[in-house]
Structure 1
Amino acid sequence: MKKLFLLTFAFTLFACSGGDDNYSTTSSEFQGEWSGTFSGDDNGTWTASINSNGDVSGTSYSTNFDDNYSLEGSVSSSGHFQATIGTTSGGAVFTGQLNGNSGSGMWVNTGAMMSGSWSGSKD
């Protein structure tokens, strides 16, 4: 009898703990189109799209170098933003915080010994 009870309990435990097979993603509150500016040792503009997973992709334009660069990164569910503009070896790293529909932070390009700040908002 004791073995039957334990077997039934174990079966019920495993049957109920299987989880949900519906693998839906959690939508990021920051999902959407964003744009802004950066300033400091270089100046320019940036635009980015944030998807439901918090992946960031877009472009930036540098007035100092008169050129466009790709922007790739991520934003956490708490709004921590990090993106690389250009390449990891020759580009700038933008870090900061998104809050609601706006964000700001700092950027640094160690290879070019340049840095500054950035800000933006959700379009």
Structure 2
Amino acid sequence: MNFKVMVCDDSAVARKMAIRCLPAALQGSVQQAENGRDALAHLASEHFDLLLLDLTMPECDGITVLDEIRARRYEVFVLVVSGDIQPQRKQAVKKFNTLGFLNKPVCAKRVCHILTSYGLY
């Protein structure tokens, strides 16, 4: 399976935890981005099937990344994984048709459930 995944979070620990929550078959094709600017640069140069995206990051936050994905018409499924659980942030994410919003720490069962429900795994 050639399913490319990017995990974007400013925390290296959070990125590693998110990668470990992916099904084993998807863990070998993961790239990492330390902030939204890095994620957008990766998306501009290659195709990804799935983006696990944090919201609160320096330089370029997750909402800005979602805005740019829409504006640039990148075709990538996005699953938001964030510690920012404010209702207004969750509401802001809904307008982007993401796969879902998972609170940190991320749970492998929830990730697999969402990917399975969308036919991605």
Task: Calculate the TM-score normalised by the size of structure 2.
Answer: 0.26
Q: Which has the larger helix fraction?
A: 2
Q: Give 1 or 2 for the bigger CA radius of gyration.
A: 1
Q: Which has the larger strand fraction?
A: 1
Q: Which has the higher contact order (CA 8 A, sep 6+)?
A: 2
